[in-house]
Structure 1
Amino acid sequence: METIIKHLVEITGHRDHELLNISVISALRELTHAEQARVLDILVSGQQIFVKPRISFENEKLIVADDGLGVNNNGELISTFPDLQKGIAEHQNVIENVDAHGTRTVWLPIWMNDKVHTCLEIVNPTTYNQNTKEVMDGILIVYRNFQNLLDYSERDSLTGLLNRKTFDDNFSKILRTSALAGASADSARTDPERRHDETEKQHWLAVLDIDHFKRVNDQFGHLYGDEVLILIANLLRSSFRPSDKLFRFGGEEFVILLRSTSLEDAKHIFERFRENVAHYDFPQVGTVTVSMGFVQINPFEPAVGIIGRADQALYFAKSSGRNKTCYYDELVENGDLKIEHSNDDVEFF
């Protein structure tokens, strides 16, 4: 009982999803004496569902995945786990499987508002009695409640996107990931056997703004303005990968952190989203457009400088006709934006 209380204290003391996940999977692993325990992300991309390990305990070793590295980082299709797929489709709370080798796997989907984004996996647990099951149920209830509290504090109440106060933590993770990727690329350049396989994958930040949004509110009312914001958020979710981060910064301004892709692909992805918005028929309002400015993320540059450059590109898009996607470096290269260096800092014009 003392061990369980200790785990509950740890779980209720966290204000971070990752630390919360580590605490709950540690508690379940210890309680069930499992050989392996994992926290799985259930990711929806278009019409497909993927299963991606987030946190794993293997041979007493804790492994935390970094979803910023790699190109194909959505995980495995859920069809790879037919019992899990069937159990989630049937909204089961406990899903069990014993394979041909006698390996027993227990999945515990974490349901929130009839949706599951996280699933706990326990491999080869010992046979547990009713008392253990009740303790597990209690831990899962506490875990689910705290996940809801964290989601509520991190998400914009209108659109469900991440809110501005969560941006700093997510951006810091991107900077760390980008620095690691840069070190890996430097290693590849000095390795003759890897040099020909090198692809320039970077992280990108885009700031977007809804064109003439005040006119929407003034002409149709704030209820339709809110509906436009909600529909823009839905288009963002359908246009970007689960590993990309989407934020509402306030009002009609949004920020996108696009992970691990080339400049050419980044341009295509941002343009595709802009076109998706322009071609969408917004109820009552009709056509709505967005303007975007984006930059490559330099892990050694302060966040304020990176956002400032994206804002400059956005301002150029707004002032040169709107409904455009502008890349900061191209604007500088073409002479549309100028950089003046002073002794103290860099000023953008």
Structure 2
Amino acid sequence: MKPILQNLVEMTGHRDHLRLEVSVLSTLQKLSSITEVRALEIFTDAGVPHVRPRTWVEDSGQLVSTDSEAAADPRRESLDHYPALRDCIAKKESSAVSSPRKGCHVLWLPVWMHDKVSTCLEITQSRPLSAHKLDVIKGVFQVYQNYQSLLDYSERDALTGLFNRKTFDEQFSRHAMNGLDSRSSAISESFAVEDGAAGDEPVQQWLAVVDIDHFKQVNDRFGHLYGDEVLILIANILRSSFRSHDRIFRFGGEEFVVLLRSTTLSTAHKVFNRFRLAVQEYHFPQVGQVTVSLGFVSTAQGSPVEILGQADQALYYAKEHGRNEVCFYDDLVAAGHLVTKVANDDVELF
């Protein structure tokens, strides 16, 4: 029991979801008779639920994690290949057990957060799980799940449930300079838009800053209660307008940020405009019509501060020239509407 407690202490010392995941798998791997432990990612691709290993133990005994896009991972499988796990999730149960072959007994423990499952722990051992062993595993899992919930709560905006500014700073600093995973150019989970030029355009990552037009007037005229409702509804439209592997953040006030991953410039234009139109056509209770302005830029070049600053410049150009617009930073520079001055590694935007 002492090694288990020591591992639990180590596990709850992490402040990162991935490190916490690696830690719990390491803890479970040390239990007797366990032959394999994996963290599986549950995701939807083209409307079909899939599963893929995200963290696992190599033959050398080393725990490794993948940072590739789920939809582009060649190891992904349809969830239908795991009928016990599929039924467990459909019935919203806490665990599932299966014995697919002799000497192989598998326990699945879905991680339920916000009434959804995106992660599942898979424990395989050579003989059936005893009641005592099952209690130990579920105890470790419960500590892990509770701590995951605490981390998730600290990463999200309390009003909208979107990721917060602190989470953006951490994620963007970690991934933006690496191209947000250059290996994901073959992602199959696509937007429902026509993109005839997709084969001729490079796939890139995009950062967009979104601002609700005249939001102060909404608060002044209708009160902060209706203002909060507008923010929540805008957040819902954002969720429905982008894919599961894109990232959406609320920066505070009426400003949001979207990290649009692995798509072409023409598709980015269409997707951002589709979101803008979805907001424009939505009837907000009491308030009526609301519009948004959006500025976006590629994340291929520049530091996170530069990239965010460029998207901000495109946004404010949209707001100063009619609002309810989507503006691409490079287009504004090419047209002479914005000028970038670079000197001594400092960037000044005019």
* Normalised TM-score (structure 2): 0.87
Please tell me the residue identity of whatever aligns with 1:298: A
Structure 1 pair 70–147 and aligned structure 2 pair: CA distance change class (3 A): closer
| TM-fit CA distance, 1:74 | 11
Q: What's 1:170 paired with?
A: 171
Q: Report SS of the residue matched to 1:97.
A: strand
User: What is the 5 A alignment of 1:62-81?
Assistant: 62-68=63-69, 75-81=76-82
2:218 counterpart of 1:216? yes
Q: What's 2:190 paired with?
A: none
2:45 counterpart of 1:30? no
Q: Report SS of the residue matched to 2:40.
A: strand
The separation in 1 between residues aligned to 2:167 and 2:295, in whole angstroms, is 21
Contact 1:203 1:296 in 2 (8 A): yes
Q: What's 1:268 paired with?
A: 270
Q: What's 1:310 paired with?
A: 311
Q: Report SS of the residue matched to 2:34.
A: coil
Unmatched tracts of structure 1, length 5 or more: 185-196
The separation in 2 between residues aligned to 1:324 and 1:74, in whole angstroms, is 40
Q: Report SS of the residue matched to 1:283.
A: coil
| TM-fit CA distance, 1:111 | 2.2
| TM-fit CA distance, 1:199 | 6.1
The separation in 1 between residues aligned to 2:170 and 2:304, in whole angstroms, is 11
The separation in 2 between residues aligned to 1:32 and 1:120, in whole angstroms, is 17
Q: What's 2:228 paired with?
A: 226
Q: What's 2:208 paired with?
A: 206
The separation in 2 between residues aligned to 1:283 and 1:241, in whole angstroms, is 26
Structure 1 pair 340–51 and aligned structure 2 pair: CA distance change class (3 A): same
| TM-fit CA distance, 1:225 | 0.7
Contact 2:22 2:55 in 1 (8 A): yes
| TM-fit CA distance, 1:136 | 1.2
Contact 2:295 2:327 in 1 (8 A): yes
| TM-fit CA distance, 1:278 | 1.2
| TM-fit CA distance, 1:77 | 4.0
The separation in 2 between residues aligned to 1:104 and 1:67, in whole angstroms, is 29
The separation in 2 between residues aligned to 1:45 and 1:218, in whole angstroms, is 42
| TM-fit CA distance, 1:81 | 2.6
The separation in 1 between residues aligned to 2:322 and 2:127, in whole angstroms, is 65
* Normalised TM-score (structure 1): 0.87
The separation in 1 between residues aligned to 2:32 and 2:322, in whole angstroms, is 62
Unmatched tracts of structure 2, length 5 or more: 186-198
2:86 counterpart of 1:85? yes
| TM-fit CA distance, 1:131 | 2.0
| TM-fit CA distance, 1:75 | 4.8
| TM-fit CA distance, 1:82 | 2.6
The separation in 1 between residues aligned to 2:202 and 2:322, in whole angstroms, is 31
Please tell me the residue identity of whatever aligns with 1:161: L
Contact 2:11 2:24 in 1 (8 A): yes
Q: Report SS of the residue matched to 2:295.
A: strand
Q: Percent identity?
A: 50
2:13 counterpart of 1:13? yes
Deviation per CA, 1:101-157: give whole Å up to 9, x if none.
Answer: 764332101223533232111234543322222211211121121111111111100
Contact 1:239 1:273 in 2 (8 A): yes
Deviation per CA, 1:183-232: give whole Å up to 9, x if none.
Answer: x9xxxxxxxxxxxx996221111101011111111111111111111111
Structure 1 pair 46–286 and aligned structure 2 pair: CA distance change class (3 A): farther
Q: What's 1:154 paired with?
A: 155
The separation in 1 between residues aligned to 2:40 and 2:277, in whole angstroms, is 33
Contact 1:159 1:233 in 2 (8 A): yes
- RMSD, aligned α-carbons: 2.7
Aligned length: 336
